[in-house]
Structure formats: structure tokens, C-alpha cells
């Protein structure tokens, strides 16, 4: 008897899938039986590696190059998946950007760029995906946040603000969409290999490692495993939660 995967048959959308946590989620989802669509922007080499990792599990894959800061993109991406696979069962909002800039030097353009991708794009994607989920009365949304949104630790203020807004959206949607059997949760991620780690100054990374109970940064697949469970049918009651994934750094 072959064991079923956590996401068998699910139609999954992962944003920011060309590396880091996005690739980790995409690869784990594929290994758990899902069809995986992922978005990427600029990093064609990374996107090709993610597609290869997904297909190595025998999973169907859609690689979608797009700019999520364009207000029309969310609807277009969800529409394409609906045309190919007739729906989106699971949305993982992972795409994000950050830059280590002192607060007084952050100009309006830099603030807008971070908020546009980290919050507004996620908001639009939730809205676009939720329409079909409401019709089917079933769905899962997992928003990838950050520990800087939950606790006062060193981190770019505009990035922390964007993730705090995302956490608020997560909790609010859990209430609004719960009656339709749509569970919405977040993951407050610590430092993981790849992705935004390169934007974190070395001295902040050292402070993180000194505080981390496990003494290391996370592997993207570790976040992927947690995300897959939150999005699976085994999760029937965890809703509106922001789950910390930081190796015990803030414990």
C-alpha cells in the first residue's frame, strides 16, 4: 500500500518560487503529491532549478514569470492556473523583498516597493484565489511572514511593517473565510538559507545564531514541511495562527 502524500491531488500556487523558502515549499509540495505552479521574477536560472526539483517528483509544474507588483498580475496568475487545472486549492504567499536601510534613510519609493510586494501583492493574491475557494467551500492559504513582525528585534522597519500588515491580514481572513472551510495561517520565519538571507547584515546573522537554540539557520525544506502540513487535510482546526519557525530563537 502506497502512503498518500499530505497534498495529494492539490493544485498549489507558490509565489517567489525561484529560490530559498519558495523553492523549499514548492519541492516539498511536489513530493507530497501536489501539482505546483510557482511565480518568479528575473531569476530565470533559479526558476529552472525549481522546476527541475518539482518535476523530479513526477509532479505537474507551471513556471510563471511575472511582476507581482503589477496590480493586474494576481488575477492573471490565478486565472491561468484555473484555465490549466480548473482551480487553486492552496496558496502559499512567499514572495518578498527586503533591504537593510536605517529608518531615517528610507525614502517613499523604497517604502512603497517593500509594501507593494510583501503586502499588497499578497492581499491581491488572497483575494483572487479566495473567490474560487469560496465557490468550492474549501481551501488553504499560508502566508510566509517573519519573526520581525512579532517581536522587537533588529530588522528593516519597512520590512517589519509589511510583515506586520501581512499577519493582520492572515488573522482577519481566518475569521472571514473560516465559514467556507478555508483555513488561513502564517509562518513567522527566522533566517533560512537562500532567499532574503543575503540582505541580512552579517552582524545581525551572528546575533540570530547566538540566540538560536539550535545554533543554525533553517533549511528551506524545513519551512516547506511546516507549510505543507498547515495546507493539508490533516490540519482541520489550526486557523488564524502565526506559527514561529526560528529554531527557538525567540523562545
Cα-based distances in Å from 13 to 34, 103, 115, 251: 10, 33, 21, 31
Q: Which of 159, 180, 208, 237 is catalytic?
A: 159
Q: Measure the CA–CA gap between 28 and 119, rounded to whole angstroms.
A: 24
* Inter-residue contact 68 to 118 (CB < 8 Å): no
**159 carries an active-site annotation:** yes
Catalytic residue ranges = 159
Amino acid at each position: 500500500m502506497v502512503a498518500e502524500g499530505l497534498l495529494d491531488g492539490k493544485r498549489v500556487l507558490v509565489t517567489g518560487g525561484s529560490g530559498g523558502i519558495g523553492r523549499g515549499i514548492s519541492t516539498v509540495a511536489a513530493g507530497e503529491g501536489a501539482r505546483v505552479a510557482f511565480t518568479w521574477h528575473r531569476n530565470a536560472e533559479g526558476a529552472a532549478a525549481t522546476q527541475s526539483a518539482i518535476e523530479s517528483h513526477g509532479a505537474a509544474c507551471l513556471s510563471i514569470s511575472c511582476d507581482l507588483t503589477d496590480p493586474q498580475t494576481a488575477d492573471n496568475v490565478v486565472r491561468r492556473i484555473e484555465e490549466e487545472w480548473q482551480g487553486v486549492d492552496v496558496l502559499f504567499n512567499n514572495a518578498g523583498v527586503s533591504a537593510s536601510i536605517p529608518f531615517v534613510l528610507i525614502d517613499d519609493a523604497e517604502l512603497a516597493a517593500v509594501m507593494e510586494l510583501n503586502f499588497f501583492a499578497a492581499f491581491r493574491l488572497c483575494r483572487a484565489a479566495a473567490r474560487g475557494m469560496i465557490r468550492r467551500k474549501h481551501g488553504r492559504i499560508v502566508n510566509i511572514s517573519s519573526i520581525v513582525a512579532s517581536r522587537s528585534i533588529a530588522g528593516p522597519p519597512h520590512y517589519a511593517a509589511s510583515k506586520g500588515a501581512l499577519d493582520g491580514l492572515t488573522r482577519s481572513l481566518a475569521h472571514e473565510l473560516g465559514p467556507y472551510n478555508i483555513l488561513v495561517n502564517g509562518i513567522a520565519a527566522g533566517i533560512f538559507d537562500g532567499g532574503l538571507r543575503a540582505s541580512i547584515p552579517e552582524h545581525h546573522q551572528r546575533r540570530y545564531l547566538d540566540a538560536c537554540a539550535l545554533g543554525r539557520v533553517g533549511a528551506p525544506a524545513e519551512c516547506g514541511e511546516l507549510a505543507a502540513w498547515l495546507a493539508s487535510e490533516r490540519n482541520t482546526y489550526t486557523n488564524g495562527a502565526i506559527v514561529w519557525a526560528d529554531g527557538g530563537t525567540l523562545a
